[in-house]
């Protein structure tokens, strides 16, 4: 497969005119051993013990936490909803901590960041991870100088565009042309809704991985993206 697939033909580079670039973290800048299937199983058990219907098959972990919180708020009151949300997020954080012990930078991460910074393009990380785990991951690969917005810093999480807007706010580039880069269709959906140019990373998958929301551009990995930023 060609390492670079341009979906949109409106520009020669996705970074044309961009003043800020927002990166997802795990699977984009950093590779970790987070086991999302095990996290789903843990959350199912937590939900079941609290009388909630646990979803089957793959599901959006944080999306389920939000939906269940809203449901409990309506049916059992604000205190029950708060206890559920706090407990669920604490459970997920404990599991995430266990899975982030052997992080490494993804191929091309250093190159694309260096190229963008040479052009004075502001960069930030916007992740659905908790702050404790995200900070540990970026420190492990030497990216702790980048501004970081986690799920602990805003009540809105990707695919909600407000998560990305919070990332733009820390770059002082809110309202300016920006690019969003991630490895999941939720990154693309958040970026599109936020008005960003979106880049989706394939990592050996086909474009069907983004069937829920195709990005503007596709690249095999950040090494390919670095060619646009050079």
pLDDT > 90: percent of the chain: 65
The band of 1, judged by pLDDT with boundaries at 50, 70 and 90, is very low
- For 51, the 3-state DSSP assignment is coil
Q: Looking at the predicted structure, is the pLDDT value of residue 3 above 80?
A: no
Mean pLDDT of the chain: 89
The pLDDT, as a whole number, for residue 15 is: 95
The pLDDT, as a whole number, for residue 160 is: 96
Residue labelled with tokens 């829920």:
212
Mean pLDDT within 207-229? 96
Q: What is the dihedral of CA 162, 190, 58, 125, to 10 degrees?
A: -80
Mean pLDDT within 8-27? 85
Least trusted range by pLDDT, from 3-7, 134-138, 145-149: 3-7
Take residue 25 and report the two structure tokens written for it.
Answer: 């973290």
Answer whether 148's CB lies under 8 Å from 166's CB.
Answer: no
Take residue 154 and report the two structure tokens written for it.
Answer: 């805003």
- Dihedral over Cα of 176, 15, 180, 212: its sign: positive
> Cβ contacts of residue 149 below 8 Å, gap of 6+?
124, 125, 126, 127, 163, 166, 167, 170
The pLDDT, as a whole number, for residue 79 is: 92
pLDDT tens-place string over residues 145-165: 999 999 999 999 999 999 999
Q: What is the dihedral of CA 148, 153, 156, 157, to 10 degrees?
A: 40
pTM: 0.84
Q: Looking at the predicted structure, is the pLDDT value of residue 7 above 90?
A: no
**Cα–Cα distance for residue pair 204/225, rounded to 1 Å:** 15
Report the DSSP beta bridge partners of residue 26: 30
Which residue, among 169, 186, 190, has the nearest Cα to 20 in the 3D structure? 169
pLDDT tens-place string over residues 53-108: 888 888 889 999 998 999 889 898 999 899 989 999 999 888 888 777 678 899 99
Answer whether 5's CB lies under 8 Å from 225's CB.
Answer: no
The pLDDT, as a whole number, for residue 49 is: 84
> Cβ contacts of residue 192 below 8 Å, gap of 6+?
198, 213, 215, 216
Q: What is the largest CA-CA distance in the chain?
A: 54
Neighbours of 30 (CB within 10 A): 24
Mean pLDDT within 129-142? 91
The pLDDT, as a whole number, for residue 8 is: 46
The pLDDT, as a whole number, for residue 189 is: 98
The band of 4, judged by pLDDT with boundaries at 50, 70 and 90, is very low
């Amino acid at each position: 497969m060609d390492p670079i697939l341009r979906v949109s033909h409106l520009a020669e580079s996705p970074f044309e005119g961009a003043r800020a670039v927002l990166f997802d973290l795990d699977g984009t800048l950093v590779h970790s051993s987070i086991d999302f299937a095990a996290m789903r199983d843990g959350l199912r058990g937590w939900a079941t013990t609290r009388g909630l219907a646990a979803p089957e098959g793959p599901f959006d972990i944080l999306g389920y936490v939000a939906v269940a919180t809203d449901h409990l708020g309506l049916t059992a009151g604000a205190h029950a909803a708060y206890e559920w949300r706090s407990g669920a997020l604490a459970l997920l954080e404990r599991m995430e901590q266990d899975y982030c012990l052997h992080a490494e930078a993804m191929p091309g991460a250093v190159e694309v960041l260096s190229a963008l910074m040479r052009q004075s393009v502001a960069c930030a990380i916007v992740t659905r991870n908790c702050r404790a785990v995200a900070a540990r991951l970026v420190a492990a690969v030497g990216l702790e100088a980048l501004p970081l917005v986690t799920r602990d810093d805003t009540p809105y999480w990707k695919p909600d565009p407000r998560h990305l807007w919070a990332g733009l706010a820390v770059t002082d580039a809110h309202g300016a042309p920006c690019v969003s880069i991630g490895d999941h269709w939720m990154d693309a959906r958040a970026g599109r809704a936020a008005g960003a140019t979106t880049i989706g990373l394939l990592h050996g998958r086909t474009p069907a991985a983004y069937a829920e929301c195709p990005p503007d551009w596709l690249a095999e990995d950040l090494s390919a993206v670095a060619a646009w930023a050079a």
